[in-house]
Structure 1
Amino acid sequence: MFSTLDVEIRPGSGLGAFELGNVVLRIFPYSVIQDCVGASLWNIIHMLRQMQHLFPQVEIKYDPDTSSTTPIILHLRPHLDLLFSGKHQRLRTICVRRLRDTSPPVTLRYKDVVLSSADEVLRRVGTSRTFGPTYPGDDLRYPGVWFGFEEDGIGEGRKGAVYHEDRSQEVKRVLISQKEVDTEEGDALGEIAECPIMNGDIALAIAKVHDGVTLHFHPSTSTPVHVRIGTTTAQDLAVILGPPLHVHYKEDDRMTIHSSLHDESDTGYFYNYFQHGIDFYISGNTHTVQKIVLQSNVPGTPLFQVYKRCNWEIEGKPEDDEDDTPPRKRFYDRFETISHFLNPREPPPSMLLDRTNDEENITLPSPATRLYGYDGVILEVSEASQVLTITLF
């Protein structure tokens, strides 16, 4: 016996536990927790792992040919498709499908009205009664929510067209998206507009070799923060980013081979900020930042979904003193481009790394990556020439 999936439609905002643009506050004993469900791919999958009783089957769909910037669809069988934008991996559109499938049955509500259930068929006339008039067309489109009458595809009928509607036509799909991007001219696979649920997240991380990283936060009016190698302390990080989700006390010796300055007597530790896609290696002696690791969260790679995507860029030196736009390379640029940017000569020798050696239950088509060491920076690169992590030291 399947339990019913009972969810409320919030046009422009979300569906059930999945949020597009609003912050949900949940009160627990002695604390108030801001729940960021729906803010990012990392948040959503983390939540789904705790809701396997409701969503036992989850498929991740993406384009392997553009794995760094591919839009991603989470298919929660059989009813839900969650579309995430390609660059920032944020929830952009929610699609509810197969409304008549009873394994499990789904109930859709809007405010106090049951729109669709095992006993209630949602039709064009019922939609119009609940949401009011809208322009004629193959779909019923309202700010933040669309109702479609085909299982796949979006109707092309637009305002001004001659159209004879069937009042009893059955709704087959419901799409919820942000109102700000729900326009005829909007890119269906583009990025979502900045909204309060992003506040406190890192919008951009600008990395400088032999220096550190400058973190830009949402909202865009926030003041950037500079984390310097050898200067910023663990206490500073706690003030800037809050306490880490995890503290790891063993350094990966596979990385120390690239550093001639490594002190074997300094047993440091990592501050892991999985929710920001950043690790900081901190000296056990001085408690200052010694290394910074930025994660790309590329689908199909060993570290996918361990960390949230960090939107990083490597900044080079300005061409002259008056150049206020120094050159940069971004996380989605190919390894060959970034390597030439760091050093115009041939790439250095690499180390082979297979992160699945320590994980018995992970099987990937191409699990091996390579580590390339440059002066002050290490690149971890996939077989598809995507830079998966950068390490500043």
Structure 2
Amino acid sequence: MVYALDLDVRPGSGLGVFELGASLWNVLDLLRRLQHSFPQVDVKYDVESGAITPLVLYIRPHLELLFSGKTQRLHTIVLRKLRIAAGEPPVTLRYKDVILSSPEDVLKRVFVSRTFGPTYPSGDDLRSDLRYPGLWFSFVEDGVADPLKAVEDPRMQEVKRVIISQKVREGEERDALGEPIECAVMKGDIIRAVAKVHEGVALYFYPSDTPPLHIKLGETTTQDLTLDLGTPNRVHYQDDVRMTEIHGSTRVGENSESSYFYNYFQHGIDFMLSPAHVVVKIILHTNVPGSPLFQRYKRCNWEIEGKPEDDEDDTPPCKRFYERFETISHFLSPREPPPSMLLDRTDDEEALTLPNATSHLYGYDGVVLEVSESSQVLAVMLF
């Protein structure tokens, strides 16, 4: 069955069910729930540096969603093929109460000007694209014009692509592959997680003026987590002790067989709690495309903070999730990396093939790193 799409365009804000600034984790979760409307989704990313490079969702045949490299947030929406071939889902595009385009209505330059008002073309040619704050109409397919199809009357040019991005102030320039600016859809999400070895983690939330939340190893309780972060998505009782055993020690009073996890997938964090219901381990997930746990957790923008050089140092050194394993390893210990354990999370998934199925676990004093074959740190565990 072919489902029609009815999309409202919101300049600088979004298109249909998609909001600029939304996280990749939330958007893919939304697409799973709307498979009848969006049955074919392809994920394109850089296999070697997926932790830092932009990612694109191709929702065929109409939509391309560009996500930023570091925060994995929706940066740009592209709507293509407003007029499609037989058998493909038709699309209706609206702006407020006005139908811009539909199977019966062809969107042309003259109607764009009537609806949105005058603006300067994006180039010297009168046939060039029309750009409004947060909205861009292109009259060529995929950025390549066909001179054989030139229209004598520029006003009758047919819109081929519609691009929605965040609005910028007059005179301001923004990187087309940069990070989205803070907006309402980010409220309640973690901006960054500052991990301190042997201590815990400080969580900073949107809005950016929200005071940080401190989760302390050996002190924060189950009740504290529930009050501060809400009910976890899942409570999991441990049946794989490899992450526990790699560092070769356990805390006093900790029984790994009766410990359990609070999984906060929407924050990209797991907390391991002792039988006494106190946090004893914290796992921060990077959500690297192509890894076995991709999309189970939202990306946690973590950094490991070192000790300040002196009492007056307000900017202690730190290493961030997107830095290579070798750099983070040297930061944790200047010696050679310790021996690693091999972990294949696809052992029980015979039909699953991934470019980074196998990872290595490296244990340090108070820290365990899970590292992909391409030297990307997939997760960091504090204990």
**Same fold? TM cut 0.5:** yes
Question: Which residue of the partner structure matches residue 270 of structure 2?
Answer: 279
CA distance in 2, matches of 1:273, 1:56: 28
Give yes or no for the alignment of 1:84 onto 2:73. no
Deviation at 1:182, TM superposition (A): 9.4
CA distance in 2, matches of 1:317, 1:121: 62
Deviation at 1:59, TM superposition (A): 0.5
The equivalent position to 1:150 in structure 2, one of 140, 145, 154, is 140
Give yes or no for the alignment of 1:116 onto 2:101. yes
The equivalent position to 2:176 in structure 1, one of 158, 183, 188, is 188
Question: Which residue of the partner structure matches residue 283 of structure 2?
Answer: 293
Distance 1:68 1:344, change over 3 A: same
Would you identify which runs of 4 or more consecutive aligned residues in structure 1 move more than 3 Å? Answer: 180-184, 262-266
CA distance in 2, matches of 1:167, 1:207: 57
CA distance in 2, matches of 1:64, 1:374: 27
Q: What SS does structure 2 have at the residue aligned with 1:292?
A: strand
CA distance in 2, matches of 1:222, 1:94: 29
CA distance in 1, matches of 2:66, 2:256: 48
Deviation at 1:358, TM superposition (A): 2.5
Deviation at 1:366, TM superposition (A): 3.0
Structure showing greater relative contact order (alpha-carbon pairs closer than 8 Å, 6 or more residues apart): 2
Q: C-alpha deviations, 1:131-180, integer Å up to 9, x for none?
A: 1100123111111110001111399xxxxxxxx97000010000111113
Deviation at 1:7, TM superposition (A): 0.8
Question: Which residue of the partner structure matches residue 139 of structure 1?
Answer: 129
Give yes or no for the alignment of 1:72 onto 2:55. yes
Q: C-alpha deviations, 1:239-286, integer Å up to 9, x for none?
A: 1111101110124211121241254476111000000000000012x1
Question: Which residue of the partner structure matches residue 320 of structure 1?
Answer: 310
What is the one-letter code of the residue matched to 1:130?
T
Question: Which residue of the partner structure matches residue 54 of structure 1?
Answer: 37
Question: Which residue of the partner structure matches residue 208 of structure 1?
Answer: 196
CA distance in 2, matches of 1:365, 1:340: 26
Specify every segment of 5 or more residues in structure 1 that has no aligned partner in the other structure, as ranges: 22-38, 156-163
What is the one-letter code of the residue matched to 1:7?
L
Question: Which residue of the partner structure matches residue 329 of structure 1?
Answer: 319
Question: Which residue of the partner structure matches residue 259 of structure 2?
Answer: 268
Q: C-alpha deviations, 1:87-121, integer Å up to 9, x for none?
A: 10011111000111140111111111111111111
CA RMSD of aligned residues (A): 1.7
8 Å CA contact retained: 1:297, 1:388: yes
Question: Which residue of the partner structure matches residue 100 of structure 1?
Answer: 83
CA distance in 1, matches of 2:174, 2:43: 24
8 Å CA contact retained: 1:181, 1:193: no
Q: C-alpha deviations, 1:323-374, integer Å up to 9, x for none?
A: 1111000001100000010000010000000001133442113310000001
Distance 1:8 1:182, change over 3 A: farther
Question: Which residue of the partner structure matches residue 17 of structure 1?
Answer: 17
Distance 1:149 1:272, change over 3 A: same
Distance 1:265 1:57, change over 3 A: closer
Question: Which residue of the partner structure matches residue 6 of structure 1?
Answer: 6
Distance 1:150 1:184, change over 3 A: farther
